[in-house]
Amino acid sequence: MAETNSAPHIVVVSSPGIGHITPLAELTKKLLVLHQRFTATIVTFSDLPPCSLPPSISTVQLPLLPLHNLPPNTHIVTRICLTMAHSVPLLREILISLKRTTRLAAVIFDLFGSDFLSMVKELGIPAYMFITSNLFFLSFMLHLPTLAETTAGEFRDLPEPLRLPGCVPLKSEDFLEPLQERGSEVWDWVIHLARHCHLPDGILVNSFEALEAGAAKFLRKRGDGKASIWCIGPLSQSNLDIDSERPSHKCIEWLNLQSSGSVVFVCFGSGGTLSLEQTKELALGLEMSGQKFLWVVRVPNDTEASGSFFNPKQDDNDSLMFLPDGFLERTKERGMIALSWAPQQEVLSHYAIGGFVSHCGWNSVLESLVNGVPMVAWPLYSEQRMNAVLLVEGVKVALRVNVGVNGLVRREEVAKAVKELMVGAEGKEVRQKMQEMKKEGMRAVEKDGSSYKAIEEVVSIFRDSTMA
């Protein structure tokens, strides 16, 4: 019989997508920093993003099971859910193997790993859920099964905003994008995920108490045998993880030539794409704004906003012919184009960046926050509209673009939002508020901060579970 390793071991499972892998890797590193005798295995469906992992963390890559029988327009959430559900037997084999040689303290998975719950508990391992988003999103998911059972018709027809305890009111038009059609396949999957939110032994959330004080206060008081909830953010990839040997990206060299706070960064995340018409309107809006800009441009996708989710990198040889005629020439003195990708963390921490036009993916939000960069909220899919509501109406660190007919943001609205953020009175207010939140976020993760203490408590529970 194999000898069991005396160090407690944690297994962390990420669903497909860089937006989940990155914060889960950061969480794993933080847990092991606080208890250096722990070891861990990170289970993914793709390569980890460039980051430095200590020797105590190993990795396992599961195959992305073929889903060829699905219609080409199958929603991204459905694809991820099916991938995770079909991978339960594979993860079971990994856990059984690890149990032979290690003392498993916990399995941590993101929301899409809900189907792992019963199997993990059957093996006698504590199961924890990591919410890669915020308390607002978690509060919504905890309430969603009740909302689905007590209402009829489409959510978008609800007469009043949803008022969750401690949260900003949420209009039905800003509900999760997959919930816009009751009874659809993706609607059923989201309800399925929501029903599992009550079941883990604990829930970790990539947010911090000062950012969502009302929701944090309410969720702490739930009690009655419900899963404990810990705010352990902001988790964001450190600049220390950037490869010092790697040549500097040309956009950083360009930023080095700009004055402090003069450039607006425009980027829609690792998976976000715009339609051809919207791309042209955005280009002309940036031109009309008169502001300096660094724009991460993706080849347009007219089928879905999340079109790059599973394949975020695009060919560097892709042509920019889809941009308006003469745009590059007219803006060459104050604009920089990065095709498909830029080192976002490096960009947002650069002194020249004064604003961020973002899709409001939560990782991007936190990167903006830890660097004190105010935002223009331009949500595309998933929970991003909820994030925009939190940022604009709750925390007040962002302005929001006005969406017109057919979901299009016209050039005039782009120009208005960008100019207001960079040089307007409202922009000045959100800039000041963002600086306050930056300080609060720093305090949360410092020793004796709220998130630091929360992670200490989680580590203590993991340690004790292996001693029982």
- Which residues are identified as catalytic? 20, 110
What are the distances in angstroms from CA 397 to CA 161, 219, 345, 388, 425? 22, 23, 18, 10, 13
**What's the token pair of residue 119?**
């199997």
3-state secondary structure string across the chain: CCCCCCCEEEEEECCCCHHHHHHHHHHHHHHHHHCCCCEEEEEECCCCCCCCCCCCEEEEECCCCCCCCCCCCCCHHHHHHHHHHHCHHHHHHHHHHHHHHCEEEEEEEEHHHHHHHHHHHHCCCCEEEEECCCHHHHHHHHHHHHHHHHCCCCHHHCCCCECCCCCCCECHHHCCHHHCCCCCHHHHHHHHHHHCCCCCCEEEECCCCCCCHHHHHHHHCCCCCCCEEEECCCCCCCHHHCCCCCCCCHHHHHHCCCCCCCEEEEECCCCCCCCHHHHHHHHHHHHHHCCEEEEEECCCCCCCCCCCCCCCCCCCCCCCCCCCCCHHHHCCCCEEEEECCCCHHHHHCCCCEEEEEECCCHHHHHHHHHCCCCEEECCCCCCHHHHHHHHHHHHCCEEECCCCHHHCCCHHHHHHHHHHHHHCHHHHHHHHHHHHHHHHHHHHHCCCCHHHHHHHHHHHHHHHHCCC
Sign of CA dihedral 46, 49, 50, 56: negative
Can you tell me which residue has the tokens 């029988």? 69
Tokens 């109406």 correspond to 393
Sequence-ordered list of residues with C-beta below 8 angstroms from that of 337, at least 6 positions apart, any chain: 295, 297, 320, 328
Paired sense of beta strands 228-231 and 263-267, if any: unpaired
Bridging pattern class, strands 375-377 and 292-297: unpaired
Residue 350 CB contacts under 8 Å (≥ 6 apart), including other chains:
252, 255
